[in-house]
Structure 1
């Protein structure tokens, strides 16, 4: 596996983090005027962050192409650790090893329950979904449900996880040695400049995503565990969208 220098790791981190922060703190405030109301603000925020996450997927594809010369599935599997988890001592692959995801999911949900610093509720998608305005906006709104689905797919499958656990983590060992997984987790937490209130709890993601992905040499571990939150959002949002406006 080709290795990145520390500066290359930071460059990829910046290429992922800075566009998201720019969208959240510069572009959205410029586009969503106070006269349009808070729903317009949330629409611009969802749309902007979705574009930022799609950009991450394209960035991964471009870097793999530059490194390997093609984007065939076999190439992607090797370049991005998209293999079933493999036990480092026995070499056994898949099967019951997938069960390691269960305690990791529990840890993720427990860390998500930690208190967060104060922040605007209109920047918090979860708070918006639980509000009357959020339920009214999504009632019968299949178009925006689709936009949210795209955002979540790129959030936990084709964007964040593919970039941090598929692209960066396998290429960080030369620069950071045995703590490469911990550095990966810290960088992932600091990447959340667009939602800085989650950074303290997100540091623990090193133990739910990065550490297990490194141990089993599989980005699928992080993808599966991280995606439980996306699936939960889509499931909980479904009955709201299904309901028709009164």
Structure 2
């Protein structure tokens, strides 16, 4: 192990609240591009080509869901690769320290967990507010909720356990193992060196603009992402962003399960 690499490992392995090695602007944008550009290509280029190859009335939603799921899984793989290169280990302790996967810690009292988890309540309310605000309309065929409400969606998902499993994987990597792990677990703790105390704000902007695969959500995603980034930074816990972001995924999985059980 080289002398230049050893200090970085030592920093990352200290417990709760450690400051990981900081990224420069080029590295931050590079990780952002490694997540955003594949998702955009899969959504706008690969999914239409795949849909043209598939048969049936559900060719397009199957192609789109499969492509977005692949892009989200890639993000989880990317996080593990970068953590492995940084820490030299994929043991749980190394991953938890590197990605802020610890219970939230109050910056005022030092309390860990317990009542500190109540910060989730206003964060969830902010995300819920986003759902009632005016937003841009999705292009035809690109709204998963609309598909789930349609007769075609009902017929396709009824008893369809394999595709239910695909949607569960998509939801899991959307909010636990993919987007949140990359933006709040990997990037956010490494942005203070460039953005200072505005790192959470820059992280929220990057997360909103990341949605090139569905750009109509970017304006409202900014509000969502700030509700995810600020608590995660203030309480040094990526679990806060993961839990808040997962509320939407739980609703989607629940609605899909209801259709499968029909």
Paired residues for 1:14-93 under 5 Å:
14-33=33-52, 36=55, 38-93=57-112
Q: CA deviation at 1:38?
A: 4.7
Paired residues for 1:1-246 under 5 Å:
1-33=20-52, 36=55, 38-243=57-262
CA RMSD of superposed structures (Å) = 1.3
Q: CA deviation at 1:113?
A: 2.4
- Listed one character per residue, the Cα deviations across residues 193-215 of structure 1 (whole Å, up to 9, x for unaligned) are 11111100001123310001000
Distance in 1 between the 2:34 and 2:178 partners? 12
Distance in 1 between the 2:191 and 2:219 partners? 23
> TM-score when scaled to structure 1?
0.96
Secondary structure, aligned partner of 1:203:
helix
Unaligned 5+ residue runs, structure 2?
A: 1-19
> TM-score when scaled to structure 2?
0.90
Secondary structure, aligned partner of 2:210:
helix
Between Structure 1 and Structure 2, which shows a larger proportion of helix residues? 1
Distance in 2 between the 1:220 and 1:95 partners? 14
Distance in 1 between the 2:30 and 2:157 partners? 37
Distance in 1 between the 2:166 and 2:253 partners? 11
Q: CA deviation at 1:130?
A: 1.1
Distance in 1 between the 2:137 and 2:237 partners? 35
Contact kept, 8 Å, 1:181 with 1:206, in 2: the verdict is no
Assess, with a 3 A threshold, how the Cα gap between structure 1 residues 135 and 6 changes in structure 2: closer, same or farther. same
Secondary structure, aligned partner of 1:71:
coil
Distance in 2 between the 1:23 and 1:52 partners? 7
Unaligned 5+ residue runs, structure 1?
A: none
Count of residues in Structure 1 that have an aligned counterpart in Structure 2: 243
Distance in 2 between the 1:35 and 1:101 partners? 42
Distance in 1 between the 2:125 and 2:260 partners? 28
- Listed one character per residue, the Cα deviations across residues 67-104 of structure 1 (whole Å, up to 9, x for unaligned) are 00001110011100000000012111000111111221
Assess, with a 3 A threshold, how the Cα gap between structure 1 residues 17 and 38 changes in structure 2: closer, same or farther. farther
Distance in 1 between the 2:56 and 2:213 partners? 21
- Listed one character per residue, the Cα deviations across residues 158-188 of structure 1 (whole Å, up to 9, x for unaligned) are 0000000000000000011111100100100
Q: Which moved more, 1:119-128 or 1:160-169?
A: 119-128
